[in-house]
Amino acid sequence: MTVRGEETRIKKQKGEKKQDLTQGSPFGTLLKFAIPVIGGNLFQLFYTLADSVIVGQTLGAQSLAAVGSTSIIIYFVLCFIQGFTNGFGICLGQRCGAKDEQGMKKSIAASTTLSIGFTVVITLVCCLLAHPILGWMQTPEDIYQEAYEYMFVVLLGTGATVFYNMISNILRALGDSRTPLYFLIISSLLNVVLDVVFIVPFGMGVAGAAWATVLSQLLSAVCCLIFGLRCYPVLHLKREDFGGLGREFWFHLKIGFPMGFQMSVMCIGQLAMQASVNALGSAAVAGYTAATKADQVSVLVNNAMGTAISNYVAQNYGAGDWQRIRKGVRACLIQTESLNVLMCVGILLLRKPIVQLFITAPTEEIIRYSNGYLNVVAPFYLVLGLLLVYRTAVQGMQNTKAPFTACMVELVMRLASTIGLTAVIGYTGVCLASPLAWIGAVVFLVPVYYGMVRGKESV
């Protein structure tokens, strides 16, 4: 073997050691893996936050309301994309934990093919139904046109979102949570620049903010792919890797589709919440938008911890180490809830600056709607943390039925609060919808998780 060949072999061995989530202290391994995922999720949120801040500050509260009125639709699509690509990542992670290199290649090939197919279907359906959706959402007439322009462009760029989430979840399943973060930081900064350029000198309005988001995310995906191809030989697929994928398709759809569907179903309740707020007028939409943008920080941090524990559980499930799975879930709970306490305190202390971040000189009515939402929701972040950790841990152990059932519990609780409580206590009923949904799902999922772990450990 040549000196250069030996160096390559050593580098590959180091890379493989870096990717292994089945070794080392569970607490330290999870924290090291989770921090870049948290950063990645926050910078992904930064795309839409930048849109909202720049739109609100340059185009005004009405344009911000237009962007905000469509955010739940966009989030609905994003949830499905994140769900099914996370599921594909779990499939790959299990093969990685089992050290099955050929299985890893087949998994990547299946993920790529299915992602292309889903991109075509999702883009066509969403773009064709844009007008009917806005009508069903009771979008106010004074913001309807801007809402349509922003939503249509973002949905037209669904392929960029799928591309980024697929490649980033593949890298995370291999144990690399840093690479997606690095390139997402770069593209987030580009997004801010493009937002300003497209909106101010080019005068493209809210559509300019949408195009900035799509183009920036596409750049992040391309960079992740190029870097991944250079550093991970398993990503170098051949034509034969795409042959005979029937069983692989079924396996990936079995895990990925329920995860995507259940995350989308959760958004149905949020769609009902947004519709209720839209009916209250532009001021309510603006205040609710500012509050939910801040609230998304907590949701995405909790989602990041869920991503970390799902990859951790998937690899250790593949290795058959149940004791390590239990230790990892316990460590993840400590880390997640510590972050939730900090976020709850920070958001409650910064309620007024949060509104001012998005809107110059907000009215008292807008501030009242924003504060009302944050005062109710923020104290329940601890419950959200329990939900995300236990749900993704169960999914990582190939149980998709229990998380889906929990998702339906969430939906029922959210709709019941939005429709039932709102009729009695008004806007507060909308604010209570999410906490009640989280509580219902946690009560169902916790016994399922401990039943699975104890059952396996006793075998």
pLDDT tens digits, one per residue of 309-343: 888 888 888 888 888 989 999 999 999 999 999 99
DSSP sequence for 188-257: HHHHHHHHHHHHTTS--HHHHHHHHHHHHHHHHHHHHHHHHHHH-GGG---GGGGSS-HHHHHHHHHHHH
- 94: Cβ contacts below 8 Å, ≥ 6 apart: 314, 315, 317, 318, 398
Q: If residue 68 lies in a helix (H) or strand (E), which one and from where to where?
A: helix 61-97
The mean pLDDT of 184-191, rounded to a whole number, is 81
Rounded Cα distance between 14 and 289, Å, is 46
Q: Looking at the predicted structure, is the pLDDT value of residue 10 above 70?
A: no
How much is the pTM? 0.69
pLDDT tens digits, one per residue of 264-321: 766 777 777 877 888 878 788 888 878 887 887 888 888 888 888 888 888 888 888 8
CB 291 within 8 A of CB 354: yes
Q: Looking at the predicted structure, is the pLDDT value of residue 103 above 50?
A: yes
End-to-end CA distance of the chain: 46
The mean pLDDT of 231-257, rounded to a whole number, is 86
Structural tokens at position 40 = 């990645």
Find the angle CA(300)-CA(336)-CA(29) to the nearest 5 degrees: 100
Range of weakest confidence among 178-182, 249-253, 370-374: 178-182
Q: What integer pLDDT is reported at residue 15 of this predicted model?
A: 42
